[in-house]
């Protein structure tokens, strides 16, 4: 097939390394790759740029329907697009009502197809309220099931007890879908929080002390045990410590089907930043001391972290304003900065290979969630890519998410996303968006 568009002169980041190669695109797919391609297609000059596969962010909260005022498909995908993303997987909360039934899936899907600028998949919830709905949700097309092992902060999305998690994992193993767990011990964190509150504690350090690393390790171990017993595919979301990653790696060596996600904020900020910045950096699990972050980076560089997702979880300013740190909404806005962190903190500072950056942000999430045609640059896949000026330093000042309570504002990065293309169509370039482009629903393939 002759190419409609030829991307010329770029340094293309492939799973096998970086190559100077042209990319031929037709009908939204890559149809040819090679040096000095010939053809009558429109030329896109990528000389001096690196061509990355579009980021596949497997962990975002865009909160529509019901809480569009927190963040919605329109503003959320603007931020994602500006950060080089071409696909995302939206969590079942904090939509209201959450995505626990097929009817809620159909409602959210329609809104996504109407408003999203990017291709998207939808997580379903796994809670004590909807254990009998998992088959219907799988048939509808959910990408996987999300369970909280600690308080989610929302009454309509309760945490799983052990029986619900175990039975849910048995069901998802039968359905062939992934379970994503927020792994913190509910009893452990709850009792520590209760004691702190009873003692009148309200500060940043007081909050951090109620969620030590051991509360993560206990829940991770329990989730791994259930996955081993049921044969479920387990995805441990937003792990904050190298110790938790190492634990998952041990169980993976035993044959457990487990993958590990961490987030840009755990790689870029520490507990000292929480004291300095405040509410914009409150999350759970919380940010850790420098030594814990160093361990996390060592595990990532050893290849033990599979994916990096933003866990973009915004809320209105009123929910991020209080003298009581415990009372603040726990969520970080960061959909725009995943690739920036991996390039600055990973590639430029620590020598992380560019193909590893692309694997963490695109290839591995696409593989884990079986997204056909996503996550890599090769013949036969969707022409989803970002053009990046790899060595350009810039200070992040312009943000596109709804409330822009973004802890990355004012941070300096090397590696600026110049343009983003979805299925061969330019959706973003240097602050300008094409509002005519709409995303499609992604279902798990074989």
Phi-psi region of 404 (alpha: psi -120 to 50; beta: other; left: phi over 0): left
HSE of 163, CA atoms in CB hemisphere, 13 A: 2
List, for residues 332-379, the tens digit of each pLDDT value. Answer: 999 999 999 999 999 999 999 999 999 999 999 999 999 999 999 999
The answer to whether the CB of 249 falls within 8 A of the CB of 304 is yes
Q: List, in order of start, the domains of the chain with CATH numbers.
A: 5-51+381-433 (2.30.40.10), 55-368 (3.20.20.140)
Q: How far apart are alpha carbons 122 and 145 in whole angstroms?
A: 9
Percentage of the chain modeled with pLDDT above 70? 100
The answer to whether the CB of 182 falls within 8 A of the CB of 261 is no
Q: How far apart are alpha carbons 142 and 103 in whole angstroms?
A: 12
Percentage of the chain modeled with pLDDT above 90? 98
Mean pLDDT value of segment 428-441 = 97
pLDDT score, position 39:
85
Q: What is the mean pLDDT of the chain?
A: 97
pLDDT at 1 over 90: no
Q: How far apart are alpha carbons 154 and 129 in whole angstroms?
A: 13
pLDDT score, position 205:
98
Q: What is the pTM for the complete model shown?
A: 0.98
Mean pLDDT value of segment 182-186 = 97
The answer to whether the CB of 220 falls within 8 A of the CB of 244 is yes
pLDDT at 274 over 80: yes
pLDDT score, position 32:
96
pLDDT at 118 over 90: yes
Comparing CA positions, the residue from 152, 147, 172, 176 lying closest to residue 162 is 147
Residue 421 burial (C-beta neighbours within 10 Å; 0-12, 13-18, 19+): buried
pLDDT score, position 41:
84
pLDDT at 88 over 90: yes
Q: Which two tokens stand for residue 244?
A: 């938790």
List, for residues 5-50, the tens digit of each pLDDT value. Answer: 999 999 999 999 999 999 999 999 999 999 999 888 899 999 999 9
Q: How far apart are alpha carbons 396 and 409 in whole angstroms?
A: 5
Rg (the chain; Cα; Å):
21
In this prediction, residue 245 has a pLDDT band, given cuts at 50, 70 and 90, of very high
**Which residues are registered as beta bridge partners of 413?**
394
pLDDT score, position 238:
98
How many CB atoms sit inside 10 A of residue 109's CB?
A: 17
pLDDT at 446 over 90: no
Residue 75 neighbours by CB under 8 Å, 6+ apart: 400, 401, 402
The answer to whether the CB of 274 falls within 8 A of the CB of 282 is yes
């Amino acid at each position: 097939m002759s190419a409609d568009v030829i991307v010329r002169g770029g340094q293309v980041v492939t799973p096998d390394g970086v190559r100077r190669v042209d990319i031929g695109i037709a009908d939204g797919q890559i149809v040819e790759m090679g040096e000095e391609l010939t053809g009558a297609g429109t030329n896109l000059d990528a000389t001096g740029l690196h061509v990355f596969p579009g980021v596949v962010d497997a962990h975002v909260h865009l909160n529509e329907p019901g809480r569009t005022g927190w963040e919605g498909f329109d503003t959320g995908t603007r931020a994602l697009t500006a950060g080089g993303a071409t696909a995302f997987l939206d969590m079942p909360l904090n939509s209201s009502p959450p995505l626990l039934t097929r009817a809620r899936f159909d409602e959210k899907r329609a809104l996504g197809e109407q408003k999203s600028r990017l291709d998207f998949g939808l997580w379903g919830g796994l809670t004590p309220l909807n254990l009998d709905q998992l088959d219907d949700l799988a048939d509808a097309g959910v990408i996987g099931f999300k369970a909280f092992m600690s308080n989610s902060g929302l009454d309509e999305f309760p945490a799983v007890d052990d029986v619900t998690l175990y039975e849910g994992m048995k069901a998802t193993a039968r359905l062939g879908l992934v379970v994503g767990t927020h792994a913190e011990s509910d009893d452990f964190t709850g009792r520590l929080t209760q004691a702190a509150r009873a003692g009148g504690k309200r500060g940043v350090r007081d909050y951090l002390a109620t969620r030590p690393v051991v509360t993560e390790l206990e829940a991770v171990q329990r989730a791994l045990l259930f996955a081993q017993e049921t044969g479920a595919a387990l995805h441990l979301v937003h792990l904050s410590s190298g110790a938790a990653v190492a634990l998952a790696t041990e169980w993976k060596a035993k044959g457990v089907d487990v993958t590990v996600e961490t987030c840009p904020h755990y790689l870029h900020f520490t507990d000292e930043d929480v004291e300095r910045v405040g509410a914009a950096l409150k999350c759970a699990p919380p940010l850790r001391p420098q030594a814990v972050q160093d361990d996390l980076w060592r595990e990532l560089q050893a290849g033990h972290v599979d994916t990096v997702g933003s866990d973009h979880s915004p809320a209105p300013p009123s929910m991020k304003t209080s003298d009581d740190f415990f009372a603040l909404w726990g969520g970080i806005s960061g959909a725009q900065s995943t690739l920036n962190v991996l390039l600055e903190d990973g590639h430029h500072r620590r020598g992380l290979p560019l193909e590893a950056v692309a694997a963490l942000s695109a290839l591995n999430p696409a593989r884990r969630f079986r997204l056909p045609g996503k996550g890599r640059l090769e013949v036969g896949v969707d022409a989803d890519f970002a053009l990046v000026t790899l060595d350009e330093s810039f200070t992040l000042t312009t943000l596109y998410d709804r409330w822009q309570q973004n802890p990355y504002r004012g941070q300096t990065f090397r590696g600026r996303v110049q343009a983003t293309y979805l299925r061969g169509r330019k959706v973003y370039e240097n602050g300008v968006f094409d509002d005519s482009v709409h995303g499609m629903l992604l279902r798990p393939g074989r």
